[in-house]
Amino acid sequence: MEAKYPTEVCADKQIHQCDLFKKVPFYESYSEKLGAFRLTILEFPLAIILTQECDLEQNLRERIKEVTAADGKTLHDKFLVSLLCAPMYNAEHLFSGNHLSFLEISSNIKGSEQRKYIKDNREPRYHYIEFDEGSQIVPSIIDFKHYFSVSLEYLEKNIENRICSIKPIYRENISQRFSNYLSRIGLPN
Amino acid sequence: MLDSPLLPQPAIPDYSKPQENIPQEEQKNSTGGELQEIIVDKVRRIIIRGQIDGS
């Protein structure tokens, strides 16, 4: 049986590694033509922050201090361009291959063996999570292949969209599996 | 009896049946609030068009 992932509700304003946010946007494309613009946004109903906790903490600490550099500009050595995150899909939607159906995309339907493999977290691409009873979130799957970036400023301005945060050790487990996935070596077939 | 679970099994909801989308208005009125959104929502594409000069 898989371990239930414990969560906590953070009341502070710092974004943490493995915070769960709802309605996270990814700005997919922007174009201009004859004075008109077209912007497409992917809105993920649930996403998890994968940026390292120390980076987030140091960034905020530096901004609070507001140190001025020798040239008169604001010192911001720990500046973050954006945060790394990954979508969390409803596990049953992903197993059924229809989690991207609103984008007119279908995925492979996962068979029973494949589902068990994913649920046991033996498939490097996915991370299956069942949450503790208090969080009220359905069993979900992080798809590491779908990682994207989101602006820190956006998340801080929409901090009310933070649902909860996964507790330490569990979050390090997710982070380690993500880094393992990114550093895999694809050998020729 | 060898196949019986040693520990009590968690009561996991059955999502094997296709989930139907709750209409937007119904979501707003639902007392389930955020939980309802988390269960039914899928990633969606939003398209915004406009004039660069803001007109």
Q: Which residues of B touch A137 (CB under 8 A)?
A: 35, 38
pTM (predicted TM-score): 0.80
Q: Which residues of B touch A38 (CB under 8 A)?
A: 47-49
Q: What is the largest CA-CA distance in chain B?
A: 74
Indicate the range of A65-79, A110-124, A125-139 predicted with least confidence.
A65-79
Give tens-digit pLDDT for B1-47. 445 545 444 444 444 444 444 444 433 433 333 433 344 489 999 99
Q: What is the DSSP string of B1-53?
A: -TTS-SSPPP------SPPPPPPHHHHHH-TTTHHHHHHH---EEEEEEEETT
Give tens-digit pLDDT for A151-172. 999 999 999 999 999 999 999 9
| Separation of alpha carbons A149 and A153, rounded Å | 12
DSSP state of A184: -
Report the phi/psi class of residue A35: left, alpha or beta, with left for phi > 0 and alpha for psi in -120 to 50: left
| Separation of alpha carbons A105 and B44, rounded Å | 11
Nearest chain B Cα distance for residue A147, angstroms: 13
Q: Which residues of A touch B38 (CB under 8 A)?
A: 22, 45-46, 90, 136-138, 163
Of B39, B52, B53, Cβ closest to residue A90:
B39
